[in-house]
Chain A
Amino acid sequence: MSKRQKRVILYSSPLVVLLLIIGFGKLKLDQIESNAQQLAQMGQAAQKTLGEFRTGVEKFDVEKVLSCYDDQYASDREGFSEEQLQSERDGVRVYRWQPTREKPTSKPDIAAEIGRYLKTMSTVEEAKLKLDSVERIDGAEHAVIRSFLWLRGTRDANGVATRNDRARGEGKEAFETQVLFRMWLRADGNAWKIRRQEMIRGTTVTGDRRGFTDLWGRSNFYASEADGAASSAGIDFASRFNPNFLTSAWKPKTFEIIKYGPAGVSAMDYDDDGWYDVFFADGERPRLYRNRGDGTFTDATLDVGLPETMPGVNVGIFADFDNDGYKDAFFGCFTDSSRLFRNVAASPEQAARRKFVEVTDTSGIVKKGDGDFVVVASAADYDNDGDLDLYTGRYLDPRRHLPTTLFYTRNGEGNSLLRNDGNFHFTDVTREAGIDETGLTLGVAWGDYDSDNDLDMYVANDFGRDSLLRNNGNGTFSDVSKESNAFDPGYGMSSTWGDIDNDGDLDIYVSDVHSGQRWYGQAATLYKYLLTSVRQGTIFEDLPVYKEIYDHVGADWSTYGDKTVKGNALYLNDGNGKFTDVSEATNTNPYGWYWSSTMFDYDNDGRQDIYAANGWITSKSTQDL
């Protein structure tokens, strides 16, 4: 078969699939338009109703909340429930919401419930009521949605505060409530009203907020009170934008938002004195803080021989590349070369004092074009030869490219596997290793998931999709995302391995985006996107992407859109190389826009917990896009 024939087949097969999906999937073109329109309008109207509800709660305004309910409200079960104490430890109480009793409920009952509920709260600090998803739209009049109530504030420590308690401002505790509801809505003029509702799951947590102490304002790690220091025990790092992103040469017109990406942080003991130090990477002025062992940190960047500025450095990986017992440093850079530094004794007399000496020029590590586009990196001995190799993850060139689509993107600059040849020299073996990873990589992590004594790799890619690369043990890797069921089409932002269920094998936790627009990421929207790209002619450039989606999920794309925006994923390893995403069942896909996340046992109870960094762009206005 000629190359041309192959290409014709490659490009026509997904087109056929698309035609099948669009043409024969019981959907007519005008139906695609109207379904998408209906979903968008319905969702926006529902959000308006939920917004009113939220404002009512914030203002303790029963009437306003009640105005969101239909006069014909009728439910078999109560919409609000009673809190039952589940556990109490470490100054934290956890209550699960349980339906109180099953009895027919009407609008006056709801009014009474809401009145009672609002009285339990003394203050509301923050309130959100989000449209989680649109489960069903029945014609123009009826719809079923899932909504998520998130509230935090203070209340009487016993859970019931009187007006007098509130006036005194005593005996209060902080609370946070998270409840998922199913709501049946009915169109009433321009607004949608709640006709019936049901609690799916709910939790209220109260606590003394003292499990962790934010050390800002304390000059010493051990300080019990703030003393007005302009640092956290000496750490006064403030991150900056990469100045290149603001210059004319690099100003990324195409994907301007890249500037809000940086940056990383590393904990390591670079001088091996038993006290963990910290390295911060930002877009301009990375800093290394040495832990002095007396409860303070000091900026040792220049002392250890690192440059005053390293514009574009996004990540620092500290690993002993020459096996001399001290951690060397790799700095992954976006707008310039990545750099390699060797950890050496500061002087022959002072072996315990360490400094870094740059060895980039002789390292074989070269940039990709006029930048290196490296965002993340991870070291591991993938070939079991006793020295640490490197995997670097790249994003796209923001001056030239946009993510191809909102749900599957492969136009990144391509990741690299760098083999350690010894003597601080590395060889790029990406091609020989069979790795063709061109997602917009934001997370890389090594772990032997199949217990075959070589390290595999989970790669989290922004704008979909993530990859599980199995180490074949012979220097090559295979993409096993599909057969292992670890295929994640979400906006991958971070990946980490750990045994979270204590069964002896490695599970995966991936950060994704669970945005307020989850409701919108449904089949109707995806089909509309496909139709629009046919009309705009962009479908042809995107065909390779559509073919890959088809290869992974087949012709049924009805849930694909939802999976891209359903948030963080916890993949449990069954011990036989297969994974199950249990994030919905275990409540580990919270709302938000997640970056780094990790498994760690903060309370030393033997079970690994999850900490996940959340937040995309905080601007002047608290109003959210």
Chain B
Amino acid sequence: MSAVAHIKDYKTGKFYRDEFRGDISWNGYEHNNLLRNEGPAADGTLQFTDVAMATGSDEIRDSRGLATADFDNDGDLDIVLNNNPGDSGRAEQARATLLRNNVGERRNWLAIELTGTKSNVDAVGALVTVDYGGERSVRLVGAGSGFASQHSSRLYFGLGDKTYVDGVTVRWPNGSVERFDKDQNQPIATRQLIQITEGRGIQVLRLPARNKKTAGSNVVAERGGKRFGGFRVRPRRSVL
């Protein structure tokens, strides 16, 4: 078909009708991408590699919404996708996709949940910075982003092979800052969940572990975390 004809017909809306397309796809049969951040090249430019096929995350359905969360509490973020039925008439195109992450759990991580007291309880808008071994990572708490999507509000920090973090800084939505530094006797260890309550310090929790007993039943599991005896990290510098 002549592309030039589209211009003339644009205002008729012909372009957007099913009859115009017929049985032909329109950017259908395309795979999702996973662009792995390889860090900066020698000239400082960030480098990315599409590893979707190589990691098996190259969903071919017409995905729309996308959410990441640690559904199995193993320390890495899994993916769930909502896919549009499309126009192929094949029922399997419409099913949602749940992708289990088998990679992240191999490295160390720290999960952080925030609870606001002066700020909103969900701490939406808070920025958390984790310093570890000379590296720094920042995560933002959100409640709605992407296309019609919402991700885990529990934040995950990948730490590679580091076994503890040097400091955690929270910038609450209203701008007040709390910093928690590593204590030589009580370093903030990795592979755990910590909960920071605005103005009230850190509490160490475990990620709830798989409850095999409830399999097949509807029992509501109790929150698995508890305060560890004697562990306390006080805010070092608080401008609350």
Contacts and interface: CB of A to CB of B under 8 A. Distances in A.
A280 interface: yes
Interface string A380-396: 11001011100000000
A370 interface: no
B228 interface: no
A353 B88 contact: no
A495 B102 CA distance: 27
B65 to A, nearest CB: 4
Interface string B76-98: 11011111111111010111111
Contacts of A498: 139-140
B238 interface: no
A377 interface: yes
B48 interface: yes
Instruction: Please provide the 6 A-B residue pairs with the shortest distance between their CB atoms, ordered closest to farther.
Output: A207-B54, A264-B148, A211-B55, A453-B175, A604-B158, A378-B144
Contacts of B127: 448, 506
B201 interface: no
Nearest to A271: B220
A298 B24 contact: no
A406 B24 CA distance: 21
B82 A264 contact: yes
A282 B8 CA distance: 34
B46 A500 contact: yes
Contact of B147 (A91, A536, A596): A596
B50 A178 contact: yes
A502 to B, nearest CB: 6
Given A91-B54, A607-B39, A497 B142 contact: yes
Contact of B89 (A253, A266, A296, A620): A620
Contacts of A319: 122, 124, 143-144
Contacts of B4: 36-37, 40, 528
Interface string B180-218: 000000000000000000000000000110111111101
Contacts of A603: 36, 76, 103-104, 106-107, 158
A170 to B, nearest CB: 20
A60 B98 CA distance: 36
7 contacts: A262-B148, A381-B119, A587-B50, A598-B68, A612-B33, A618-B86, A625-B24
Contacts, number: 587
A273 B27 contact: no
A412 interface: no
A441 B142 CA distance: 18
A262 B64 contact: yes
A619 B215 contact: no
Contacts of A271: 220
Given A585-B45, A617-B86, A625-B21, A320 B121 contact: yes
Counting chain B CB atoms within 10 Å of each CB, which of A238, A282, A595, A618 scores highest?
A618
B138 A504 contact: yes
A276 interface: yes
Contact of B30 (A36, A294, A528, A615): A615
Given A239-B94, A625-B24, A618 B146 contact: no
B220 A273 contact: yes
A605 B86 contact: no
Interface residues of A, number: 174
A233 B211 CA distance: 15
Contact of A402 (B16, B75, B146, B212): B16
B56 interface: yes
A117 to B, nearest CB: 19
Interface string B25-43: 1111111111111111000
Contact of B85 (A205, A239, A602): A239
Given A260-B84, A608-B37, A610-B35, A598 B66 contact: yes
Given A40-B4, A378-B145, A619-B24, 11 more contacts: A213-B99, A255-B16, A266-B67, A528-B4, A592-B31, A595-B64, A601-B137, A611-B32, A614-B31, A615-B31, A624-B29
A263 interface: yes
A94 interface: yes
A238 B91 contact: yes
Interface stretch (A1-9, A62-70, A182-190, A309-317): A309-317
A44 interface: yes
A515 B150 CA distance: 26
Given A214-B59, A256-B17, A610-B34, A501 B96 contact: no
A618 B93 contact: yes
A209 interface: yes
A613 interface: yes
Contacts of B227: none
Contact of B66 (A254, A276, A597): A597
B210 to A, nearest CB: 6
Contacts of B91: 238
A176 B54 contact: yes
A352 B104 CA distance: 31
Contacts of A447: 125, 140, 142
Nearest to A278: B80
Contact of A214 (B31, B36, B99, B106): B99
A538 interface: yes
A315 to B, nearest CB: 4
B83 A239 contact: yes
Contact of B145 (A292, A455, A497): A497
A616 B98 contact: no
Contacts of B35: 587-588, 590, 609-612
Interface stretch (A215-223, A426-434, A550-558): A215-223
Contacts of B85: 238-241
A597 B48 CA distance: 15
Nearest to A591: B30
Nearest to B133: A606
Given A293-B210, A619-B88, A316 B101 contact: no
Given A604-B160, A606-B158, A446 B125 contact: yes
B113 to A, nearest CB: 9
Nearest to B135: A606
B170 interface: no
Contact of B28 (A87, A505, A618): A618
Contacts of A621: 22-25
Contacts of A235: 80, 96, 98
A405 B11 CA distance: 8
B7 interface: yes
Contacts of A616: 26-28, 30, 62
A206 B53 CA distance: 8
B129 interface: yes
Given A206-B54, A602-B76, A614-B30, A317 B143 contact: yes
Given A294-B215, A496-B145, A263 B55 contact: no
A317 B109 CA distance: 27
B51 A207 contact: yes
A183 B80 CA distance: 40
A213 B143 contact: no
Nearest to B75: A604
A84 interface: no
Contacts of A377: 144, 148
Contacts of A205: 49-51, 53-54
B104 to A, nearest CB: 4
B152 interface: yes
Nearest to B71: A276
B120 to A, nearest CB: 5
A341 interface: no
A228 to B, nearest CB: 14
Contacts of A515: 27
A622 interface: yes
